[in-house]
Structure 1
Amino acid sequence: MMEQTNKERSLVSKVMDGLVTGIVEEKYGAVLPPQDVLSKEFDVSRTVMREALSMLLARHMLDVRPKIGTRIRPMHDWRMIDEDVVNWRFRAKPDPTFLRDVIEFRVLIEPRAAAQAATRGNASDIAAIRDAFEAFRTSPPGEPGHQTADEALHTRIVVASGNQFFQQMAAIIRGALSALKPLVEQPPGAWDEAVKLHARVVEAIERHDAKEAEAASMAVIDYSMSRLSVAMPDAQTE
C-alpha cells in the first residue's frame, strides 16, 4: 500500500514537471487541454492528472473558469514562496522585468541577511559559511562545482541570519544566482574580483561586523549587476 502511494506521488511529480515544462515553453497557449486529453498525453490515470493539476492550482499557476476550462495564469501570479514554483519560474527564459525584480529582491534580502548573520550567527553557522567560501574560492566559473559552491555560500549566509522568512527565501536566492550567471559578462580579472568581494563579506561576518557585512554584500550585488549582459539593459535598477 505504501509502495503504491509512493509510486503515485512520484508519478504526480513527473506529470507536474511535464506540465510546467509545457507551460514555460508555451506549448499549450493560454488554456490547458481537457483532463482526458492530458491523461492520454502523459499516459496516466485521471486520478493522477487531477492531483497534478490540483497541485498547480494550489500554487496559483492555473485558474479554472466555467465554460473556458483550465487557464494558465501569468507567471507574476505564481506563488513564489514555494521552492518548486521558484525552480519552475527560473526555468523559463528570463525577461527584463523579471530580472529587474530578481535584482531588487537580492538587494532587499542579501545585505540585510549578511548583517544579521554577523550579529546572530553562531560558531557552527560561521564555520559553514567559511567552508562554503573555500569551496567557492577553489571552483572558478567553468568548473563542475562552481554553481553549487556559489549557491551554497549565499544560502548559508541567509540561513545564518536566523530570520525564518529569509531562510524560506533561500530557494529564490539560488534561483536568482542561476538565472543571472549566464547573463553576466566575465572580463579578464572578473573571477579574482568576485573572490575578493565575497571574502570581504565572509570576513566581516567572522568579525561580527554587521555594518561592514551589509556593505560588503551590497558590493557583491553591485559588481554583478555592473556586468549584467548588455543584452538585458532593461533589467537594471536605479
Structure 2
Amino acid sequence: MEHSNKDRSLVSRVMDGLVTGIVEEKYGAILPPQDVLSKEFDVSRTVMREALSMLLARDMLDVRPKVGTRIKPMHDWRMIDEDVVSWRFRAKPDPLFLRDVIEFRILIEPRAAAQAAARGSAAEIAAIRDAYDAFCAIRPGEPGYQSADELLHTRIVIASGNQFFGQMAAIVRGALSAVGQTIYHKDRVWETAVRTHGRVVEAIERRDPKEAETAMRALIDSTVEDVAGALAADPPHR
C-alpha cells in the first residue's frame, strides 16, 4: 500500500510538471518521447506512462502514429474536470477565454442564486452571510481577498441544491480568479462589487428567488464593461 501511495504521488507530481510545461509552452505542439520525459522528471517509464494516460483521459493530449503525442488546444480540454479547470486557469487568460468564462457565469450563477434563496438551508444561508462579511473586510490585493470572493460564490452555488451546479463550482472559482486579476484592483470596481454582492446576499436571506436572480445577473453585468475594455474580441453576451 505504501508503495502504491508513493507511485500515485509521483504520478501527480509528473502530471503537475507536464501541465506547467504545457501552459508555459515549453514543449511546443508535440511532447518529447516518453523516455526523454522520464529522464527529465527522473521517474520510471511506468510512472510517466500513467501520468500521460491521465492527461489523455482529460482530452489534453492526442497520440497519433508517426506523429507522437500532440498537445491539444486548450479549448478542447475536458473543462468539466476540476483538475483541468485548475490547470487551464494557470495559463494567461486570453480575450476569448475571459469572454467565455463570463458567459458561463451568466448562464449558471443567476439561477443558482435564485435556487439558493428558495432551497438553501438556514445554515447554508448563514454561511453565505459569513462569507460576504469576510469579503467586505478585505481589500483587493490583500492576502485572502480572492479566496473570500471565491468562497462567497461557491457557497451560493452549493446552496442552490442542484448537483450539477455544485459540480460547476470549480469553474466558477476559476472564472472569478481570472476576472478578478483583470478588474478588482480598481477602488471603484471593488466598491461596486461590495454593493452588488450585498444585494444578492440580502435577496437570498429574504428568500426572494426572483430578486436574487436579478441581483446576481446585475452583479455579473457590472463586470462586463470593465472586462470588455480589456478584450480584443466581442464582449460577452448578456
Same structural fold, with TM-score higher than 0.5 when normalized by the shorter chain: yes
**Is this contact kept in 2: 1:185–1:229, CA < 8 A?**
no
The answer to whether the Cα contact below 8 Å between 1:61 and 1:73 also exists between their aligned partners in 2 is yes
Percent of aligned positions with the same letter in both sequences?
Answer: 73
Q: What residue number does 1:88 align with?
A: 87
Contact 1:61 1:75 in 2 (8 A): yes
Shift of 1:3: 1.8
The answer on whether the counterparts of 1:155 and 1:170 sit within 8 Å (CA) in structure 2 is yes
Q: Deviations over 1:27-75 (max 9, x none)?
A: 1111111100000011100011001000000000011111111111111
What CA distance in whole angstroms lies between the structure 1 residues aligned with 2:187 and 2:50? 50
Residue 100 of structure 1 corresponds to which residue in structure 2?
A: 99
RMSD: 1.3
Residue equivalent to 2:61 = 62
AA partner of residue 9 (structure 1) = R
CA contact (8 A) 2:140 2:184 kept: no
Given the two structures, how large is their TM-score scaled by the length of structure 2? 0.96
Give how far 1:229 is off: 6.3
CA contact (8 A) 2:141 2:185 kept: no
- In the alignment, structure 1 segments of 5+ residues that lack a partner are none
CA contact (8 A) 1:159 1:170 kept: yes
The residue identity in structure 1 corresponding to 2:70 is R
Contact residue 136 and residue 153 of structure 1 kept, 8 A = yes
Equivalence for 1:175: 174
Cα distance in 2, alignment partners of residues 62 and 138 from structure 1: 43
Kindly state the Cα deviation for residue 192 of structure 1 after the two structures are TM-superposed.
2.4
Equivalent positions of 1:201-216 (< 5 A) are 201-216=200-215
Distance in 2 (CA, whole Å) between partners of 1:128 and 1:185 is: 23
Instruction: Give the TM-score of the pair, scaled to structure 1.
Output: 0.96
| Structure 1 contact 81–169 (Cα < 8 Å) conserved | yes
Q: Secondary structure at the match of 1:91?
A: coil
Structure 2 distance, partners of 1:82, 1:188, is: 34
User: Which sections of structure 2, spanning at least 5 residues, go unmatched?
Assistant: none
Counterparts of 1:153 and 1:44, CA distance in 2:
40
